[in-house]
Amino acid sequence: MFMCPGCKLSSALYRFAAAATVLTLLSLHTVACAQNVSVFAAVSLNEALDAALVLFERPANMRVVPSYAASSALARQIQSGAPADVFISADTEWMDYLAERKLIDVATRSNLITNRLVLIAPAASSVQTEIRPGFGLSQMLGDGRLSVADPDSVPAGKYAKAALMTLGVWNSVERRLVRGENVRAALNFVARGEAPLGIVYRTDAYAEKKVRIVATFAPDTHRPIVYPAAMVAGSRAPAARQLLDFLRSQRARAVFEKHGFIAVR
Amino acid sequence: MRNAARMAAMLNIDVTKRLGDFSLNASFTSDSGVTALFGRSGSGKTTLVNAIAGLLRPERGVIEVDGECLYDSLRGIDVPVASRRVGYVFQEGRLFPHLTVRGNLSYGYRLTRADQRYVEFAHVVELLGLGGLLDRRPGNLSGGEKQRAAIGRALLASPRVLLMDEPLAALDQQLKAEILEYIERLHANIRIPIIYVTHAIEEIVRLADVVVIMAAGSVVTAGKVSDIMGRPELREQTGRFEGGTVIEAKVVSQDNEYGLATIAFNGGQLVIAAPDAGVGHEIRLRVRARDVSIALTRPPDISVLNVLSGRIVDIHAEGGPSANVRIDVGGVRLLARITRFSLQKLALSPGQQVYALVKAVSLDR
Amino acid sequence: MVFLTPTEWEILALSVKVSLLSVLITLPVAVGVAALLARADFFGKSVVDALVHLPLVLPPVVIGYFLLLLLGRQGPIGALLDQYLGIVVAFRWTGAAIACGIMGFPLMVRAIRLSIESIDAGLEAAARTLGASRLRVFFTIMLPLALPGVITGVLLSFARGLGEFGATITFVSNIPGETRTLPLAIYSQTQMPNGDAEAMRLSIISIVLSVLALLTSEMLVRRAQRRSHGRDA
């Protein structure tokens, strides 16, 4: 190959580089040939979906690869051509957004589960309140901030904003927010004690030991928290349909319910 | 080792320092105005000067200047650089490029306490001819202008002693002569001790009273210029050193038409190309051994203007074609260098009365 | 308003404010550290050097995370600051400035250090023989001659701060008017259903700002170099 008089190191390096390249290409090929199902799922589904996937009976060379992020972020990535096979959103709006752009297979769309919205505080906090119209949320914050997901784009934040507006306290706290880029970020700020209060899903509060639920928002203060699931248009994974069917199955539902979700019948 | 003689000296230097492979172990004292440090490059001159300035800390030793102890390893004295009041003129000048000449000159001046100042700004500017340069920046100065500014800057800090590290090395011949004059003027005007590092004999001859010869990090010998310069056996240590005689004389008369002057010294009178010094002034002159010829009788019809009568003191024949003959002329030991052949042919021997011939044109400064 | 909406002006002003503060607080530290690394020799020098370069190689999110741990209201330093000085930086623009400052610190130090190293140390020695203390030498000789490097460092760090995202969003979150600097605003727009147009506008503002910063740097450096090299400027 390349002759470099006197540089023994250089030719050894070439051999190594060549071997590494071949191995990488081989493994990529293997991965590509394997049937991978890529699931883009709202971050609040993290633990529940991981647990459910363990029960999924899949063929030997198939892997299910979940990606968790805010539904807004995932929808935008799918719009930009990200290779997802299944999309599970935390609200209908982002699923509609993709449907409008013909980016999902509408025939496969259905609602999986629902959730509830809760007001949380750090585990060590002893704050008490009832959620009623006009309740003193702003006073309860003191000089701290209310931790929510970004109300402009993330479903959890949008639900929170809707609820607070319904209760007539949005204006008093609008300037006192910490906007997480997804609901888990909002959860973490409260868990670390950086924010005295936060609004997240009930399932998130269950998943995090360092927070406690102060009160639950009545479902009529916001639109129903519904998690639709669908196949992404143009997905080439035949097992995607199987996965969707599994997620609607009784076994999967049981797992979701165990984590605090409410299954849709 | 300290003794009464050392304590009274203006300069008392004894420095030991190792730098990598090089070992400096130099010691000398000097009472004079201008002490020259002479030696080949690498002999340790600059290292020694840096130690005196405080830029280098010796391993042991003593540095005393003008009665003040700047460093004494036994007593644990080590005065920091900024407090030593040692003026340093570097070979490259090292003017601050972002300041004007005026800014450079006043840098040290402003840092000197008023009661310690012995020079004033205007005086130094006039002495070194810096008037027209004050608002210029170092980037716009010629080599000679830079050196004058560097000297002025060091002076204006009212130092106890002036260190000059081969200040003329980077200049061409003409500039060298010009700056040399400024330095002479300076020495005449401001009586502070000067340590002058050089490897150029001409500079030593013109400026120095005492010369310290260094080689391989040690002092080989030290003494008055007129003594040391006449010793051919030092040629080995000093490399390009060439035998000669230093004569101290006074200008007696001048011949403007022919551009000549007559100078008188202990051994008689010499006619030389007219120097800048006027009648009555003292000058110092070097007579190179190679410019001195020997005759047994006073030669008639010869162009040589200087014929001096004297007696041979001793003869050194080195291996090779030449021999050095020392002739006593009125108490002054004149060194002549001739071929061994001529030595033989004229049958010269110590004690013999001879004539020393020196061409007037070879006696220039 | 001219070209930009009031919200856009607010975002721009916040970004500039945050970057300016970040540069102001890091400059004295960077100059000191750069001088130390350039001229001094001490035990542990390479460790200091590595620490200085850490923000260059660590993921910004990691930096933001550690800032949160340390300077958050519950963090060891943050709690002390709050208790004794009443200073809170979590979720404040001052916190964003700290994040930007740390990310830009290595750039500043490198530029200044390079500049100091290119100064002839002989000039400093000369100044000392003239009676100047080390501190005086630093201020009258080193700093003026290192000015081109200082300017470069400041502007590089400023531009870097303008673009800082990961550490900022992790440490002080994304609060409009308080910590939503240009990059965070652009990010928010990309997450919204129809934010593309606005994201593009903000991106262009961001580019223009960065180019301006770099051009200014060039011009100032050239002028400073002329002056420090002795040419009558």
The contacts of residue A100 (CB under 8 Å, 6+ apart) are none
pLDDT at B239: 47
| Residue C103 structural domain | 6-41+52-228
pLDDT of C18 higher than 50: yes
pLDDT by residue (tens digit) across C122-135? Answer: 999 999 999 999 99
Contact at CB, B94 and C130, closer than 8 angstroms = no
- Distance set, CA B162 to CA B30, B148, B301 (Å): 14, 14, 50
Domains defined along chain B, listed by start: 4-235 (3.40.50.300), 245-362 (2.40.50.100)
Tell me which residues of chain C have a C-beta less than 8 Å from any C-beta of chain B. Answer: 120, 122-123, 125-134, 136, 140-141, 144-145, 227-232
Bridge partners (DSSP) of residue B214 are: B219
Gap between the Cα atoms of B25 and B37, Å rounded: 14
Min distance C85 CA to chain B CA atoms (Å): 41
Smallest CA–CA distance from C123 into chain B, residue: B94
Class of domain A117-221: alpha beta
Cβ neighbours around B203 below 10 Å, total:
24
* Chains B and C are touching, with contact defined as 3 or more CB–CB pairs separated by less than 8 Å: yes
CATH, residue C111: 1.10.3720.10
pLDDT by residue (tens digit) across A22-63? Answer: 776 665 555 555 568 899 999 999 999 999 998 887 777 788
**Count of domains for chain C:** 1
Q: Where are the domains positioned within chain A?
A: 35-114+226-263, 117-221
Gap between the Cα atoms of B23 and B16, Å rounded: 8
**Which chain A residues have a beta carbon less than 8 Å from that of C190?**
76
Tell me which residues of chain C have a C-beta less than 8 Å from any C-beta of chain A. Answer: 68, 72-74, 90-91, 169, 173-177, 187-188, 190-193, 195
Q: Write out the two tokens for C151.
A: 């300017």
| C83 within domain boundaries | yes
The contacts of residue B37 (CB under 8 Å, 6+ apart) are B45, B48, B49, B195, B196, B197, B198, B211, B212, B214
* Local confidence band at C225 (pLDDT 50, 70, 90 cut-offs): confident
Helical H segments across chain A, by residue range: 8-33, 46-55, 71-79, 92-100, 137-141, 155-166, 170-173, 183-191, 202-207, 239-247, 250-258
Q: Write out the two tokens for C200.
A: 């593009």
- Neighbouring chains of B at 3+ CB pairs under 8 Å are C
To the nearest 10°, report the CA torsion of A142, A147, A151, A155: -140
Cβ neighbours around C77 below 10 Å, total:
13
Comparing CA positions, the residue from C175, B126, C62, C104 lying closest to residue A194 is: C175
Domain boundaries A35-114+226-263, corresponding CATH code: 3.40.190.10
| C46 within domain boundaries | no
ipTM: 0.80
**Which chain C residues have a beta carbon less than 8 Å from that of B111?**
130-132, 136
pLDDT digit string (tens) for chain B, length 365 residues: 333 344 446 888 888 998 888 888 888 888 878 899 988 888 888 999 999 999 999 999 999 988 889 999 999 999 999 999 999 999 888 999 999 999 999 999 999 988 888 888 998 898 888 999 999 999 889 888 999 999 999 999 999 899 999 988 878 888 888 888 888 888 778 778 899 998 887 788 888 888 898 888 888 888 887 777 766 666 555 444 467 787 888 889 988 888 888 989 888 888 888 877 778 888 878 888 888 999 999 999 999 989 999 999 988 887 788 888 889 998 888 888 899 999 999 999 999 999 999 988 777 55
| C1 within domain boundaries | no
Min distance A163 CA to chain C CA atoms (Å): 20
Phi, psi of B256 (to 5 degrees): -70, -30
Phi-psi region of A212 (alpha: psi -120 to 50; beta: other; left: phi over 0): beta
Using a 10 angstrom Cβ sphere, with 0-12 exposed, 13-18 middle and 19 or more buried, the burial of residue A98 is buried
pLDDT at B221: 84
